Amino acid sequence: MKGLISDNGFPAPTEEELRNIFAASCVEATARETGCTAAEMYRQMKDANLFAELIYPCYETLHTQSRRIVTEDILTALRTRQKRTAS
């Protein structure tokens, strides 16, 4: 896809950029759902290793799901890992 121009005249995003955009949208949607800031949610998700173990490895599947399902899956994983860490 490198070098291709999108309909708006800008270069099309690379696969890595698309994955990063998706990860950022996951942070924002999950933060919105829980009522915390995006910065706080990012920290929680990073501490729970969700980027390395869920969001990036499962991108191909996750990005085809609805925002609601993805947000629920992330919250479930986050809460499970936080409980494990607290024990």
pLDDT tens-place values along the chain, 87 residues long = 455 666 777 888 899 999 999 999 999 999 999 999 999 999 999 999 999 999 999 999 999 999 999 999 999 999 999 998 887
Cα–Cα distance, 44 to 64 (Å, whole number): 24
What is the reported pLDDT for 6? 64
CA distances from 21 to 56, 62, 81, 84, 87 (A): 11, 13, 24, 29, 33
Q: Is the Cβ–Cβ distance between 28 and 38 less than 8 Å?
A: yes
pLDDT of the residue at 1: 44
pLDDT for the residue numbered 57: 97
